Amino acid sequence: MARLLTSPIFRLCQHRSVALPLLAALFVCLLLSACVTAPQAPAPAEQAALAIDLLPPETGASHLQVRVTGTDGAPVTDAQVSLEGNMNHAGMVPVISDPVTDDADGAADGFYQVPFEFTMFGDWIITVSVTTADGAAVSENVDVSVDESGARLVGAPQGDASAGGLHISDVRARPVPMPGGNTAVFLTIANHGDQPDRLVDARSDAAEVVELHETVKDGDMMRMVHMPDGFELPPGETVELMPGGKHVMLLNVTAPMAAGDEIQVELVFEHGEPVILTVPVVEMAASMP
């Protein structure tokens, strides 16, 4: 304490002409130090509000197809999509694809064809990374199992399938309580190719007769019409077979079909390879087929 009282700074502070400026300077320094904020951590990268769907792999294809849509269901066509594939055990070299744009396959429709080939049989984790034009990004992991018969998504909805540029989804059939009854199969077909195709026929052992039908308005009445020429599948468009419209009609079913059952239905196309679907039977609101 004695040393402080005899220090030069204390003696200077005894003179008002020196003490007041010194105290003012000290106050300013304290004020400035209080105003300095601690550096803030950088904001996390913006996450895009996107829905990513890795479509069921086509047998023998050298690419995987990814569908990207916004929260409103509209296709996202201005993004870049890349893939990284890893086996679910350590020690394997990952398979990494370069980013691709939507129009790389000739159609800007929200479907991205990313070059990719599985190098081994086994269980894979595919990381799908999407970056939009404004820099927002999102990624998603998808489990894929690969064996001698090909690659398949683990936990994919029943009935989903791809063939050529066609992707089939939302497959379901309406229950029918007794043999000899009629029912219908509904589904969605998206043509991601650059050539038109046509669904020309359907087959199934679940019914004696299988036909392509459409429900149309005839005056004040609705009636079903057999469509022997099938349904056109324009390139870049999606065709829905749904209640009250186009559908696959099963006439004189060979056995009852209850919710939870499955049936096999084969779709025949004008140009694409036939596709065999496993169709789940599900409860649906009562209406015309």
Which structural domains are found in the chain, ordered by start? 50-152 (2.60.40.1080), 163-280 (2.60.40.1890)
User: 181, 250 in Cβ contact below 8 A?
Assistant: no
pLDDT, position 4: 46
Distance CA 289, CA 173 (A): 10
> What average pLDDT does the chain have?
81
Those residues whose C-beta lies under 8 Å from the C-beta of residue 118, and which sit 6 or more positions away, are: 85, 95, 124, 144, 146, 151
User: 83, 96 in Cβ contact below 8 A?
Assistant: yes
How many CB atoms lie under 10 A from the CB of residue 3?
7
**What is the per-residue pLDDT across 159-176, written as a single tens digit (0 to 9) for each?**
666 666 788 888 999 999
Q: The whole model's pTM is what?
A: 0.55
Distance CA 2, CA 5 (A): 5
User: 63, 55 in Cβ contact below 8 A?
Assistant: no
User: 204, 182 in Cβ contact below 8 A?
Assistant: no
**What is the per-residue pLDDT across 103-130, written as a single tens digit (0 to 9) for each?**
887 778 888 989 999 988 888 999 999 9
Better pLDDT: 187 or 287: 187
**What is the per-residue pLDDT across 28-42, written as a single tens digit (0 to 9) for each?**
555 555 555 545 544
Beta strands 166-173 and 161-163, pairing class: antiparallel
When pLDDT is cut at 50, 70 and 90, the band that residue 156 belongs to is low
| Adjacent-strand bridge partners of 127 | 84, 141
Beta strands 50-54 and 63-70, pairing class: antiparallel
pLDDT, position 285: 63
Those residues whose C-beta lies under 8 Å from the C-beta of residue 145, and which sit 6 or more positions away, are: 122, 123, 124, 151, 152, 154
